[in-house]
């Protein structure tokens, strides 16, 4: 019996429900910072958050937003993808990423892109070997005063 469902997390209550799993990826954010940033990103950037549920439990979360740039054209930028630390290696990340691929196909986007921290070797293997992503660039960051 399939107990897995994917649901868009749109309301403040739903966003809060995803926080315990998202905090495993974004440990630097407390609950109020997290909610504030998600709500601002939803309003200003079209950020979308989806959670994968196993019955009533969130086991993985993905956040993305549609973008248009001269480099990639119309594409989806995956900002966040995390599987609960107690639920890893069960295919949940793959399910959510495939969901985003289908969402992009159905909404006229050409590709999906993301960045992954330099030290996250397991994640890199997942993206390259399992999900067939290519390394196409480096991402650089400069902190402002």
Chain segment 18-36, per-residue pLDDT in tens: 999 999 999 999 999 999 9
Q: What is the pLDDT averaged over residues 4-27? A: 97
pLDDT at residue number 111:
97
Average pLDDT value over all residues in the chain: 95
Q: Write out pLDDT tens, residues 110-139.
A: 999 999 988 888 889 999 999 999 999 888
Written as one string, the DSSP assignment of the chain is ---EEEEE--SHHHHHHHHHHHTTT-TT--HHHHHHHHHHHHHHH--EEEEEEETTEEEEEEEEEEEEETTTEEEEEEEEEEE-TTSTTSSHHHHHHHHHHHHHHHTT--EEEE---TT-HHHHHIIIIIS--------------
Superfamily of domain 4-114, CATH level 4: Gcn5-related N-acetyltransferase (GNAT) (3.40.630.30)
Confidence of residue 17 (pLDDT cuts 50, 70, 90): very high
Least confident of 44-48, 103-107, 118-122: 118-122
């Amino acid at each position: 019996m399939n107990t897995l469902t994917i649901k868009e997390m749109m309301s403040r209550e739903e966003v809060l429900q995803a926080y315990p799993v998202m905090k495993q990826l974004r440990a630097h954010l407390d609950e109020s910072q997290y909610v504030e940033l998600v709500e601002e990103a939803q309003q200003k950037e079209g950020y979308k958050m989806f959670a994968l549920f196993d019955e009533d439990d969130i086991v993985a979360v993905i956040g993305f937003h549609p973008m248009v740039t001269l480099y990639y054209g119309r594409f989806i930028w995956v900002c966040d993808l995390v599987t609960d630390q107690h639920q890893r290696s069960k295919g949940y990340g793959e399910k959510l990423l495939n969901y985003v691929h289908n969402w992009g196909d159905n909404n006229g986007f050409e590709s999906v892109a993301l960045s992954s921290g330099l030290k996250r070797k397991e994640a890199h293997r997942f993206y390259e070997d399992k999900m067939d992503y290519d390394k196409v660039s480096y991402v650089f960051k400069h902190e402002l005063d």
